[in-house]
Chain A
Amino acid sequence: MSADQTLPRVQQILAAVLGVDPARAVPDASLTDDLDAESIDFVDILFRIEQEFGLRIDRDALIAQDTFRDPNYFEDGKLTEAGVQALRERYTFTSVDGLKPGQTAREVIAHLLTVRTLTDLIEHVRNSRAAG
């Protein structure tokens, strides 16, 4: 199955979970800022992706909880230079170009978790499985 078939299936999942028009779930759309996803929605989305694509996805692959809790990476609630580096290393499967020191956790999540992040994660897990 090619990557371009992944997006419409993810859009259908987002429509079911978040009650949004699938057309709004463009690749650059932020799950939190543009599509109003909350924490329980991420669990719901991951369960549906796993079911739809027949994959197992580590919860931390989407939201790197340990990075957000690490005081070296978030100082006074703001992303540090080391944090930018750590997140780049964690999210190698997608683009994280817009991360900057000083961003709050909320801003980082809004930036990191886009529709594209989901489709890239699916491709990444699928390719790792094929390679493994």
Chain B
Amino acid sequence: MSDPPESELEGRAAIVTGGTRGIGRAVVAELVRAGAKVLCSSGSSAALGAGLVSELGPERCAYLQANLLDAQSAERLVEAALARWQRLDILVNCAGISADALLVSASDQALAEVFEVNFAAAFRLIRAAARPMLLQHAGAIVNVSSLAAQRVGRGQGLYAASKAALNALTRAAAVELGRKGIRVNAVAPGFVRTDLTAKVLDLAGPELERRIPLGRFGRPEEIAAVVAFLASDRSAYIHGAVVEVDGGLGHAEML
């Protein structure tokens, strides 16, 4: 994909959860590059948030630490974005956690936390963001899902189920909000190399990469480019879609 014009998102304000690491961090950088003002949040990495603000500039990027296990966080984030930027045009639900465990040994706490962060927080943020977006009759919501919603590895059951729920939420929100000019879509990344996944991907090694039709793992920037596209008017007629960004892995032959 060619680079979008630098002013494509000029004047737009965004919230990106999970915005200090990996895909989220790349999304924040890409939205800022395209001209948006971004409030990013994370649960714990406040120092990374401060670093990102200083790197991208406080006039374009703000950070708020927000524990998405707390149900009040969604409203707080939307209020903070409105207080800072006076508007909200883009919401990117990127925060996600996994709980690697076989279903038969997964705990109730893991069940609650994975669904709370990956699904319930996204729902609450959509609900909270809908207010300013409805008043504008415009907005773009992008949920960062996962290929795991379609193709599940052993030990990924809760994560996969929460992402499948997020896909259903994406479609449901699209059906309800479309008439109001609010577009809702999702991206479903395959294997993406980030600081958090590097170890696992290195362990899985070339064997895993060979299964990907494009022959390599994805880069966070390649996911961020699609998120920015879905957040922009260039995707004005894409609505309720779950866009796979996985190097073709979703269509690969089974081993």
Residues in A lying within 8 Å of B, measured CB to CB: 38, 40, 43-44, 47-48, 51
Of all A-B residue pairs in the complex, the 7 with the closest CB atoms, nearest first, are A44-B134, A47-B134, A47-B131, A40-B176, A47-B135, A51-B135, A44-B180
Q: For residue A121, give the distance in angstroms from its CB to the closest CB of chain B.
A: 19
Residue among B130, B134, B180 with max Cβ neighbours from chain A (10 Å): B134
Which residues, 144 to 192 on B, are CB-close (under 8 Å) to A? 176-177, 179-180
- 8 additional A-B pairs beyond A40-B177, A40-B180, A44-B134, beta carbons within 8 Å, are A38-B179, A40-B179, A43-B130, A43-B134, A44-B180, A47-B134, A47-B135, A48-B135
* Residues of A contacting B177 in the complex (Cβ-Cβ under 8 angstroms): 40
Q: Count of B residues near A, CB < 8 Å?
A: 8
Give the chain A neighbours of B131 by CB distance below 8 A.
Answer: 47
| Whole-angstrom CA separation of A94 from B132 in the bound complex | 29
Chain B 111-140 interface mask (CB, 8 Å, partner A; 1/0): 000000000000000000011001100000
CB nearest to B175 among chain A residues:
A40
Chain A residue nearest in CB terms to B176: A40
Interface residues of B (CB under 8 A from A): 130-131, 134-135, 176-177, 179-180
Q: Is the interface of A mostly helix, strand, loop or mixed?
A: helix
Closest to A43 in B: B134
Chain B residues whose CB sits within 8 angstroms of the CB of A47 once the complex forms: 131, 134-135
Q: Output the least CB separation between B86 and chain A (Å).
A: 14
- Contact sample, A vs B, 6 pairs, CB 8 Å cutoff: A40-B176, A44-B180, A47-B134, A47-B135, A48-B135, A51-B135
In the assembled complex, the Cα of A48 lies from the Cα of B176 at a distance in Å of: 18
- Nearest-neighbour CB distance to chain A for B123, whole angstroms, equals 15
- B45–chain A nearest beta-carbon distance, Å: 34
- Chain A residues whose CB sits within 8 angstroms of the CB of B130 once the complex forms: 43
The smallest C-beta distance from B118 to any residue of chain A, in angstroms, reads 25
B residues within 8 A CB of A51?
135
How far does the alpha carbon of A120 sit from the alpha carbon of B177 in the complex, in Å? 28
Q: Which residues of B contact A44 (CB under 8 A)?
A: 134, 180
Which residue from chain A places its CB closest to the CB of B178 in the assembled complex?
A40
Closest to B135 in A: A47
B228 to chain A, nearest CB (A): 27
Q: Smallest distance from the beta carbon of A64 to chain B beta carbons, Å?
A: 21
- Which chain A positions have C-beta within 8 A of B180? 40, 44
- Assembly CA distance A96 to B134 (angstroms): 30
Nearest B residue to A39, CB-CB: B176
**Bound-state Cα–Cα, A51 to B134, Å:** 12
Query: How far is the CB of B227 from the nearest CB of chain A, in Å?
Result: 25
* Chain B, residue nearest A38 (CB): B179
- Give the nearest-CB partner of A40 in chain B: B176
**B29: min CB distance to chain A, Å:** 32
- Could you tell me the distance between the alpha carbons of A43 and B180 in the complex, rounded to whole angstroms? 11
CB-defined contacts of A38 to chain B, threshold 8 Å: 179
Query: When chains A and B are docked, how far (Å) is the Cα of A43 from the Cα of B173?
Result: 14
The interface residues of chain A lying within 8 Å CB-to-CB of B176 are: 40
When chains A and B are docked, how far (Å) is the Cα of A48 from the Cα of B131? 9
Q: Which residues of A contact B135 (CB under 8 A)?
A: 47-48, 51
Give chain A residues whose Cβ lies under 8 Å from the Cβ of B179. 38, 40
